[in-house]
Structure 1
Amino acid sequence: MRRTPSRRLIAAALLVASVLAPMTSTSALAATTVTPTPAAATAVRLAGVDRHDHDDCPSHGLGRDLNARLDKAVADVRREAGIPGVAVGLWMPGKGCYVRATGVADKVTGQPMSTDLYSRIGSETKTFTVTALLKLVDDGRIGLDDPISRYVHGVPNGRHITLRHLAEMRSGLFPYSADADFAHDLLSDPTRTFTPPELLAYGFKHRNTSAPGKVFVYNNSNLVLLGLVIEKVTGHHVADVIDRRVLRPAHLDDTLFPDGPNVREFPEPHARGYTNQTLSGAVEDSTDWNPSWAWSAGAMISTMHDLRSWAKTVATGALLSPETQKQRLKTLPTGFPGLSYGLGIFETGGWIGHNGSIPGYESVTVYLPALKATLVVLLNTDITTGGQEPSTLVARAVTRIATPDHVYDGSATTR
């Protein structure tokens, strides 16, 4: 059984008190500008730290001057990109931390954004799915160079595509989320439940884009297949395997994979999400869209507190053997300057981790071994600005100031 997040019992009180899974859209891209109500703006100024991080992130944070520069940088990006609400957590051992929320969690009510909300994390799900897969490697139950045809039938060129190819985004398969029929079917009914075979069929009707191992193409089909491998080998739902073998050992009590009859589950408190990935191109509230279309590639939900912990766990390989973690971190060029990709994980500017984008929400969770620093960004829109994802704009602005020798730029991975 998947766990019920521990905070649901006090969700209403908390909400009042604190107030690279890609899809192709036929719509135009547009930004929204949000002006909080006076009451909301006041609450935002008070929402500096959450109940988890209050004790180890004092009010002085990284110092008055640096805090002010970061506040201005985040505010500038939020205004220029039309981001409704954003939460940023930066922890730098020996220097301090910066934990802030600004803007609104709900454009209708003006409810302030908070650092203590659940959020959809999109393609960050890939770090959990691949960790579960690599634990099976450590168990000796699968090999990274096994062909996918050993576990899933009907994959085009499946005898030559390995699990490694899938995890490193070099399978050569066509991404189902780039199929026009898929985009139309999803956007025509965002509440629809998709099964993994239905998702894969959208991609499999196309010819493969390249030979295996040759070209990096960010592809949700790869991770759906790896989810099916996990289910085939273990005999259990991938959501349950991730819960039992990844979330529990990592002590992530507020992270979950909605699946099966609970696929529409979204614990409170959470921000409303806003997207323009609609048939008309108009901005809509996508908070309650069904995430089954992203499954093991992007359906998970988490919190800043849990993601702070997960950033170090996944980057250092705390749940894996040293040899398997070494394999995971063997990143290869992606064709995008400054960005390399390993097994369900990327490296940019020295930061290791992943970002996520799903209609209405974006996130970044990365760890910087050189400084033992952690950065988490959560926001409630996926609307791009000048072709740039809003989460990338925020993370880049923060790291340019706080870690100028290690600037984040992971924009190529989630769309």
Structure 2
Amino acid sequence: MLAVPASAGAAAFSGPAPAAAYSAAQLAPSASNGEFVELTPAVEARLDTAIRDVMREARIPGVMVSLSAPGKGEYVKTFGIADKATQAPMNTDLYMRIGSVTKTFTVTAMLELVDQGEVGLDDTIDKYVDGVPNGDKITLRQLAEMRSGLFNYSADEGFYKALTSNPDRPWTPQELLDIAFKHPVNFQPGAQFEYCNTNLILLGLVVEKAGGQPLNEFIQENVIEPAGLRHTLFPTGAEFPSPHAHGYTNQTASGKIEDSTNWDPSWGWAAGAMISQLGDLRTWARILATGTLLTPETQAQRLDVVPTGLAGAGYGLGIFNVQGWIGHNGSLPGYESLVVYLPEAKATMVVMLNTDVDHDGQEPSTLFGQAITRIVSPEHVFNIPVVQPPPTSKPPSTS
């Protein structure tokens, strides 16, 4: 997510993380624990109840859920409303902002350039972008696996005030980097894990330089189209295809819940600006986790996770492994998403909802993921623990 401590999408992976007491190997999927229950009518009824319970408890306006696995059936349902003003129901054809799931597209684009020999994972960022603190030490690999030590621009108090006071303002990548670089580094490259949106802004610039195109065009031609995604886009401003769900956030100047549907997402850019639909994200979950667009060697490096300090959660190159579920979550003011794949069962889970308002410090997408997987994959319960209490002013998230 575009998250910082306890912010949407970042609460999942905020830091600095404590030392981990487990190895990357322990985080890898286990072939002996591939249980995924058959999606019978009785299981569907349990899922309906669990999803409605989360909605009621966390006051979620609307949500859509997709579950599937070969030989186990399929569950695709929507609940609640897409627009508080009209009470229009949520449905699966609606476009929604996907927050930090954008990171999976940006890093895939970068890894395609690795496969083409245009960039190297162990290149330092100063080869592509000038003025980066520790730029002669930070590698592209460390940026993608959140171990750069750079300050997260979205955690800057001045940025938060600027965004919430004028959410329609467009932002350039350089403006975001300027905010990050005025802060000292948090640690030396590779020393630890810390979720940081600044890393992805830099990787977006790498893709532009090495790929010879604006990031949105490169991702469209080299990731979205080859993946067969017909309802996914990288906006350059506040444009939002119709039909779309309205989003609701409390990351506002007043602190009250407001409609954030048309806020300009350019402040998230390569870390969180993209838009998609449920059907496309179902396809993307499998492609992302299985490495369809990459060489097997590069995909293996992508899935080689580093410990995050959160039990059962590791982070690879723009992708996580949480209790065996591989993918990413996303959060942007008004929207959250969860796009994951369980390799042992070839199971896909996608959750999309139209609010990012935390419940007891926990992101609602995580609450849904946990409730659903307790039923369908009890040996792989998706859960990202809360590691810090929410700050007084919640920084915007692009998890």
TM bracket, shorter-chain basis? 0.7 to 0.9
Partner residue, 1:302: 276
Partner residue, 2:66: 89
- Contact in 1 for aligned 2:310/2:385 (Cα 8 Å): no
- In 1, the alpha carbon distance for the partners of 2:68 and 2:281 equals 12
- In 1, the alpha carbon distance for the partners of 2:365 and 2:318 equals 19
SS at match of 2:83: coil
Partner residue, 1:365: 339
1:382 is aligned to 2:364: no
- In 2, the alpha carbon distance for the partners of 1:110 and 1:91 equals 29
- Contact in 2 for aligned 1:170/1:212 (Cα 8 Å): yes
1:333 is aligned to 2:307: yes
Match of 1:287 among 261, 271, 277: 261
SS at match of 1:377: strand
Partner residue, 2:2: 21
1:247 is aligned to 2:221: no
1:204 is aligned to 2:181: yes
Partner residue, 1:121: 98
- Contact in 1 for aligned 2:324/2:380 (Cα 8 Å): yes
What are the within-5 Å matches in structure 2 for residues 241-280 of structure 1? Answer: 241-259=218-236, 263-280=237-254
Match of 2:298 among 298, 310, 324: 324
Amino acid at match of 1:143: G
- Contact in 2 for aligned 1:392/1:410 (Cα 8 Å): yes
- Contact in 2 for aligned 1:24/1:179 (Cα 8 Å): no
Amino acid at match of 2:180: G
- Residues 214 and 361 (structure 1 numbering): CA distance in 2 closer, same or farther, change over 3 Å? same
Partner residue, 2:198: 221
The runs of at least 4 consecutive aligned structure 1 residues that moved more than 3 Å come to 23-26, 410-415
- In 2, the alpha carbon distance for the partners of 1:24 and 1:66 equals 35
Per-residue Cα deviation, 1:378-411 (whole angstroms, up to 9, x for no partner)? 0000000011000110111000001111111246
Which structure has the higher relative contact order (CA within 8 Å, separation 6+)?
A: 2
Structure 2: state its 5+ residue gaps: 8-37, 387-396
Per-residue Cα deviation, 1:11-43 (whole angstroms, up to 9, x for no partner)? xxxxxxxxx2136899xxxxxxxxxxxxxxxxx
**TM-score, with length taken from structure 1:** 0.85
Partner residue, 1:176: 153
Q: Give 1:235 shift.
A: 2.0
Per-residue Cα deviation, 1:152-191 (whole angstroms, up to 9, x for no partner)? 0000010000000000000000000000011011111000
What are the within-5 Å matches in structure 2 for residues 38-49 of structure 1? Answer: none
- Contact in 1 for aligned 2:268/2:398 (Cα 8 Å): no
- Contact in 2 for aligned 1:24/1:177 (Cα 8 Å): no
Amino acid at match of 2:53: D
- In 2, the alpha carbon distance for the partners of 1:297 and 1:398 equals 27
- In 1, the alpha carbon distance for the partners of 2:51 and 2:92 equals 14
- In 2, the alpha carbon distance for the partners of 1:140 and 1:397 equals 43
Larger radius of gyration: 1
- Residues 164 and 25 (structure 1 numbering): CA distance in 2 closer, same or farther, change over 3 Å? closer
Partner residue, 2:383: 409
| Matched residues, number | 359
- In 2, the alpha carbon distance for the partners of 1:241 and 1:186 equals 27
- Residues 268 and 344 (structure 1 numbering): CA distance in 2 closer, same or farther, change over 3 Å? same
**TM-score, with length taken from structure 2:** 0.88
Amino acid at match of 1:166: L
1:135 is aligned to 2:112: yes
What are the within-5 Å matches in structure 2 for residues 96-107 of structure 1? Answer: 96-107=73-84
Amino acid at match of 2:3: P
> CA-atom RMSD, angstroms?
1.5
